[in-house]
Structure 1
Amino acid sequence: MKSVGILGVGQAGGNIAEIATTMGFQTALINTNQRDGAVNTKVEKKFFVPGYNGAGQDRSIGLRAVHEHYRELIEFVKKSFKNVKLLLVAFSTDGGTGSGMSPLLIDILLDQLPGINIGAIAVVPERNVLAGNRINAAECIEQISKIEGISSVFLVDNDQMRKVNPQSSKQQIYLSSNRQVMEAISYVLQVTQKSSIYGNFDETDLMNILNTRGVTMISSTTVTDVKTTAEISNKIQRSWANTIFCPIDTVGVIRAGLIYEGPETVAKLISAPAIFEGIGEPLELFEGTYISDTDPTVTMILAGLSFPRRRLQTLEESLEKNKERLQFLVNKEHAEKYESQVSWASNLKAKPPERKPTGVTSKLTKYQK
């Protein structure tokens, strides 16, 4: 895991870094709130932006933190990661710290870390989040998509987890999503250490894929009992829609990896042209075949995908639908006031008797008969 580093930004990013630490990745975290980062006890390297106490879901605060402290942030990242080939910045798109800091921080690090590719693990919120979270996510993802030198962007979709586990709590959804994305990345890194006479998928292959600009996803499926090339291809294609990543909705893969583990009889059924029939063959395909007695499993890495417009537009649809109401609420915050209809009654309030000193002599005279 030494070749990939995980930099968590904000609370969600810190939680991803916490899981990554247990898997052997180099990790560090950045936060504007020390209490949030303090719970990530397994992450040793931490930077808490001085003068801040959280961002309160306000992206502008996270952005300002980078503007004010970019020198310290750059130095912290340089000291935290040694000999990594790829640094993945992990964050939630709908909060304040991670969403606000990460796009600018990634853009700056691209210039400041020569020889290290920079990518992202960006968490996309569920469809039922409130307007402020949707606005944050839309702004953040737009900014990430416009960074010229960025490598793979993993869009972790909490909505995918909700479909599988509709009764789960938010905390369970977050934990499961965070763990699954790191397990997927960890697995493909572990495969690069295996050997096979049928063709190895090595670290250079993986880095060629992960250094591709655009959206990246990893899928895995068992292909037990398949009898034909068409069956195995269909099963692989269906697996792309059942990952924790945003579903594919456009054609075009620039680079891909195909890893097979299992009996040789099933390996013979795998056909790259059949697998990519629906979305088009990639520019480059890197394969690894590992014959074993385990259940036949196909893992794929698809890189250079377009940002999933249909999925992201679901975040914006309710904003558009409620545009007038939301604008009214913003205006109402600054214009709201109450005019009393009984202001005339203020003179009716009871007043204490006025005491005027007159002297003892006058009091004695007053009471003479």
Structure 2
Amino acid sequence: MIKPFSENNNLGALRALMSKHLFSDEVKNEMDRFLSQTIIGLGQGGGRIASELARLGFPTFLINSSKSDMEEFKNLIPAERRLLTRSKKYAELEGTDKNAQLGYEIAVENKEIYKKVAMDNAVRNAEFVWVCVSLGGGTGNGALKVALTYLSAVRQEKILPTGKIPLGVICSLPSKDEKGSSFRKNALAGINLLKKFQDENKIGSVLVIDNEKMKNYYEEDPLRTYGGRIIDAKSYSNMVVASTIAEISSIPLLEGRVVLDKTELLSTLSTPGWLSVSKYEVEQNDNINSVIKRLFSENEVLANYKTESAISGAVAVLYPVTKNMDPKIADDVYAYASNLLDTQVNLSVSINSKIQKLTLYGLAVYLSPSLRIKELYEELKEWEEIEKSQRELKKATLMELNEFDDFFQLRNETPSRTTVNLDDLDVSFGENASDSIPAEPSGRTTIRPVDLDDIDF
């Protein structure tokens, strides 16, 4: 069981994003029922996502081929859960430089580490397990197949009555600002791999962070710490995800006339597909139908989807204990959400002493991947053309310089030398000149011969 959030000293700047209801007595008094979750971060990007979830008190493992990446979190995650994957074949390397193939080879070489993590009691006993990864990277993305293969096998021990596996993935997609084809190739390969695991019912839902959306964050007032330090956009995205996971996990703890119980939440999270979670605070004049559309189609950092591909959904209504809510609002929320998603939707209606506004949470699992995937494919083709042009330009430049290729080569024939007899030269050094060559001027250092035999070209 994790600590009540009001007693957690590790939240840091994350506290500013978390809903006030998490610090209420209603949640605090029911923390023994809070959904137990274990986090596994793969690579640098996955480690940073996982570290924000670790602040909530969840048991967290980091697995990385770069020790320096993990040392950033040494005060948050214990050493025995920060696991370094070394390569005998590439012993001098730390990291993979966005090479997912290399990341996969290193993961296979270190498969015993992934096996050990999968068999850890923190993983086996958790009600749900999240694997965090940046799909644009090399280490984490490359390790995904190895990690999920072992974890899926172990999580069969916790299989739900519906046959779903309580194992999910939180991943990020590269933004347009991340240059080059390798980011896109890695991400598309990762999405394809996750789709295969879903189709084989080896994992549940995948929550996708769309890094392209971060630019919108910078256009507005960025989040600052209490000391005034600006939180960078990627950290902000990870914090939004962590606060969102905490908030939806608390919904089964809240009292109300209609409750989303833990089994229903687990079933939604464990549904093989693409998960979207969003939150909306309702203003007085908001039209509920429009609110529901925005709830399921707009999100600050998470990927967007076609709502008609939904296969599972849930909507939670939280309203202040100090205000009465018209029962019709809850009925309308349920009706509009069901019609929009065109699938079974679970409903929760709860009251809370800490919140000030009517607040809605929407969860949906979709069959089709994010709309960003098509964009990534188009960007990949553009970058392949750019990189092809760069290679051709480089080749043309080298061809222009080819006439100098022989400069740094040994010659097969040595030019013949003529022996000169200095006695035959008619040279005068002046009237008083000596017949001998003058000595070195005073103070000049004589250059010693250097042994060049060891220089190899």
Question: Could you tell me the TM-score, scaled by structure 1's length?
Answer: 0.84
Write the distance in 2 (CA, Å) between the matches of 1:288 and 1:194.
Answer: 9
**What whole-Å deviation, never above 9, does each CA across 1:30-68 have from its counterpart, x for those lacking one?**
001111111112112111102351111100111112221
Identity value in percent:
21
Deviation (angstroms), 1:28: 0.8
Change in 2 beyond 3 A, CA 1:151/1:268 = same
Q: 1:259 corresponds to which residue?
A: 316
Q: 1:124 corresponds to which residue?
A: 173
Q: Are residue 21 (structure 1) and residue 62 (structure 2) matched? A: no
Write the distance in 1 (CA, Å) between the matches of 2:393 and 2:326.
Answer: 64
Q: 2:194 corresponds to which residue?
A: 144
Q: How many residues align?
A: 347
Match of 2:348 among 275, 281, 288: 288
Report the AA paired with residue 111 of structure 1: A
Q: Are residue 218 (structure 1) and residue 260 (structure 2) matched? A: no
CA contact (8 A) 1:250 1:306 kept: no
Change in 2 beyond 3 A, CA 1:322/1:53 = closer
Q: Are residue 73 (structure 1) and residue 114 (structure 2) matched? A: yes
Report the AA paired with residue 99 of structure 1: N
- Aligned residue for 2:157, secondary structure, equals coil
- Aligned residue for 2:248, secondary structure, equals helix
Deviation (angstroms), 1:335: 10
CA contact (8 A) 1:258 1:298 kept: yes
Q: 2:380 corresponds to which residue?
A: 319
CA contact (8 A) 1:99 1:136 kept: yes
**What whole-Å deviation, never above 9, does each CA across 1:122-169 have from its counterpart, x for those lacking one?**
111212221221221122112111212210100011222322323879
Q: 2:234 corresponds to which residue?
A: 174
- Aligned residue for 1:87, secondary structure, equals strand
Deviation (angstroms), 1:242: 2.5
Note the aligned Cα RMSD (angstroms).
3.2
Write the distance in 2 (CA, Å) between the matches of 1:217 and 1:27.
Answer: 23
Report the more deviating stretch, 330-339 or 113-122: 330-339
- Aligned residue for 2:215, secondary structure, equals helix
Q: 1:243 corresponds to which residue?
A: 300
CA contact (8 A) 1:2 1:24 kept: no
**What whole-Å deviation, never above 9, does each CA across 1:191-250 have from its counterpart, x for those lacking one?**
222222x022221111011010000111111113147xxx11211211331332111225
- Aligned residue for 1:182, secondary structure, equals helix
Report the AA paired with residue 149 of structure 2: D
CA contact (8 A) 2:217 2:233 kept: no
Report the AA paired with residue 125 of structure 2: N
**What whole-Å deviation, never above 9, does each CA across 1:275-316 have from its counterpart, x for those lacking one?**
343342x23x222211356311111111244212x3211112
CA contact (8 A) 1:209 1:255 kept: yes
Change in 2 beyond 3 A, CA 1:171/1:139 = farther
CA contact (8 A) 1:266 1:296 kept: no
Q: Are residue 49 (structure 1) and residue 102 (structure 2) matched? A: no
CA contact (8 A) 1:151 1:213 kept: yes
Write the distance in 2 (CA, Å) between the matches of 1:346 and 1:176.
Answer: 54
Report the more deviating stretch, 336-345 or 91-100: 336-345
Q: 2:148 corresponds to which residue?
A: 106
* Unpaired stretches in structure 2, ≥5 consecutive residues: 1-33, 88-92, 159-165, 224-229, 420-434, 436-457
Q: Are residue 3 (structure 1) and residue 36 (structure 2) matched? A: yes
Change in 2 beyond 3 A, CA 1:266/1:292 = farther
Deviation (angstroms), 1:112: 3.4
Change in 2 beyond 3 A, CA 1:277/1:71 = same
Q: Are residue 204 (structure 1) and residue 245 (structure 2) matched? A: no
Structure exhibiting the larger radius of gyration computed from Cα positions: 2
Write the distance in 2 (CA, Å) between the matches of 1:335 and 1:120.
Answer: 45
Q: 2:125 corresponds to which residue?
A: 83
Report the AA paired with residue 311 of structure 1: R
Deviation (angstroms), 1:104: 3.6
* Unpaired stretches in structure 1, ≥5 consecutive residues: 357-366
Write the distance in 2 (CA, Å) between the matches of 1:306 and 1:248.
Answer: 7
